[in-house]
Amino acid sequence: ANGTKGSLPSAKNTNTTNRSPDAILNLVQGDPTVFEPYWRNQGDKCTLLISGSDFMSYYSDCENICWFLQPQLADAIRNIHRDVGNAVLDGRHIVIGAGSTQLFQAAVYALSSPAGPEPISVVSAAPYYSRYPEEIEFLSSGLYKWGGDANTFDKDGPYIEVVNSPNNPDGTSRDAVVNRSEGRLIHDCAYYWPHYTPITGAADHNVMLFTLSKCTGHAGSRIGWAIVKDIEVAKKMIKFVEFNSLGVCKESQLRAAKILETISNEYSNLGCTKTANFFEYGQRLMAERWRKLREVIKRSKVFSLPEYPKECCNFSGEFMESHPAFAWLQSKGNMDAEKLLRSHKMMGKGGKYFGVDSKYARVSVVGREEDFNLLLERLWAIKGEETE
């Protein structure tokens, strides 16, 4: 039976497939190249000239507890959060890292030291970001260990819960689930930006992680920042980065500052209209991708997608749904979703990596347009015999 009657909606005639029809489409990683055209259109606005004698010192700002943080970047981070209204920064400490990956480990170290009688459990509600268990288990640390799904965690004593909201892989907005007084929380806010989700308020948690990778798409610059309430926790995180990499590349920091300033300037130049602002552009782009994706999935006999509630976005002033960076596909016939994708020349990441059933798989929707359109075409082409 043909589960997909008619022609592929919206993506038809997009003339995207200049690769071999047998080529495997890799959608495993969330490499955020979707925003490349935007930055290309900025011309020389973000170009930096760096001379041989620039940035030679280890030090950036000896007045700041985070002595390796370039002041321009600290300002740019404060400004972008003020523009978007997605986080509270007043009286908070900014800790910079080589991506939020380094800061996640710094935060886990800070919240687990000094060592207790046994390693502290680190938990997160399934489906959780697959790197959390991998990074926690990597060094077999005596300070912490992976404690699994927060929904079923029932061990007494202190624990660390990682709350990823909106969540990778399934795009849901989340709160902590264990909720005990001995809990220490890390909020991974990588996707709390208007292009992925409505901004419903300024996040105000003890340790919040953000990253340039998902904010502007500049994953290759490896810049992340933590917003930390408690100065002692911030100091320990700074110590971790100091011992791990003796600071953070200054060229990257200045590039990040320039990129963020460009967005903030657009915002202030345009007053309250915000038209053509990067986030508005991103919101439209992601909404359009999700509209096309849902059109294809609506007719699919094989996969379904989660629904997201419409909420008022304080940034855009509009009611909108989330448009996550990943599509969390569920096989309608309880088949192995990763294998199903693979048999149709698509590579996604199966549910087991995220602590759930293999009937789920995650595919990136933040790749280049060519890849996104090929995803639509291939999903559209799945006939549905597999489920019958």
Contact with ligand PMP (CB under 6 A): which of 60, 124, 211, 252?
211
CA dihedral 177, 180, 184, 185 (to 10 degrees): 20
Instruction: CB nearer to ligand PMP: give 236 or 349.
Output: 349
- Tell the burial category of 295 from Cβ atoms under 10 Å away from its Cβ (0-12, 13-18, 19+): middle
* Touching ligand PMP, residues 66-125 (CB under 6 A): 99-101
Spatial distance between the Cα atoms of 381 and 378, rounded to a whole number of angstroms: 5
Looking at beta carbons, which residue is closest to ligand PMP?
Answer: 99
User: Which string of DSSP letters, residue by residue, matches 24-81?
Assistant: -EE-SS---GGGHHHHHHTTTTT-----TTTT-SS-S-TTSSSTTS-HHHHHHHHHHH
Instruction: CB nearer to ligand PMP: give 301 or 349.
Output: 349
Q: How far is CA 252 from the centre of its chain?
A: 19
Q: Is 252 in the site for ligand PMP (CB under 6 A)?
A: no
DSSP H helical ranges for the chain: 36-41, 71-84, 99-112, 131-137, 212-215, 231-245, 250-269, 278-298, 337-342, 369-381
Q: Is 224 in the site for ligand PMP (CB under 6 A)?
A: yes
Q: At closest approach, how far in Å is the CB of 167 from ligand PMP?
A: 8
Instruction: CB nearer to ligand PMP: give 224 or 367.
Output: 224
* Touching ligand PMP, residues 333-362 (CB under 6 A): none
Q: At closest approach, how far in Å is the CB of 131 from ligand PMP?
A: 7
Contact with ligand PMP (CB under 6 A): which of 66, 87, 96, 219?
219
First to last CA, the chain: 9
**How many other C-beta atoms lie within 10 A of the C-beta of residue 232?**
9
Q: At closest approach, how far in Å is the CB of 212 from ligand PMP?
A: 7
**How many other C-beta atoms lie within 10 A of the C-beta of residue 317?**
10
Instruction: CB nearer to ligand PMP: give 3 or 350.
Output: 350
Q: At closest approach, how far in Å is the CB of 281 from ligand PMP?
A: 21
Site string for ligand PMP, 137-176 (x = CB under 6 A): ---------------------------x---x--------
Q: Is 197 in the site for ligand PMP (CB under 6 A)?
A: no
Phi, psi (rounded to 5 degrees) for 337: -65, -35
| Count of residues of this chain found to bind ligand PMP when the rule CB under 6 A is applied | 13
Q: At closest approach, how far in Å is the CB of 132 from ligand PMP?
A: 8
Q: At closest approach, how far in Å is the CB of 174 from ligand PMP?
A: 11
* Residue 301: strand, helix, or coil: coil
Q: Is 190 in the site for ligand PMP (CB under 6 A)?
A: yes
Spatial distance between the Cα atoms of 99 and 221, rounded to a whole number of angstroms: 8
Token code pair at residue 273: 């209209």
Q: What is the residue type of 166?
A: P
Instruction: CB nearer to ligand PMP: give 194 or 224.
Output: 224
CB 256 within 8 A of CB 39: no
Contact with ligand PMP (CB under 6 A): which of 129, 196, 278, 315?
129
**Residue range at the interface with ligand PMP (CB under 6 A); choices 134-142, 211-219, 349-357, 370-378:** 211-219
Instruction: CB nearer to ligand PMP: give 364 or 387.
Output: 364
Q: At closest approach, how far in Å is the CB of 378 from ligand PMP?
A: 23
* Touching ligand PMP, residues 27-56 (CB under 6 A): 30
Phi, psi (rounded to 5 degrees) for 53: -95, 0
Q: At closest approach, how far in Å is the CB of 344 from ligand PMP?
A: 24
Q: Is 244 in the site for ligand PMP (CB under 6 A)?
A: no
* Alpha carbon distances (Å) from 19 to 15, 23, 32, 33, 289: 11, 7, 21, 18, 21
Residue numbers of the site for ligand PMP (CB under 6 A)? Answer: 30, 99-101, 129, 164, 168, 188, 190, 211, 213, 219, 224
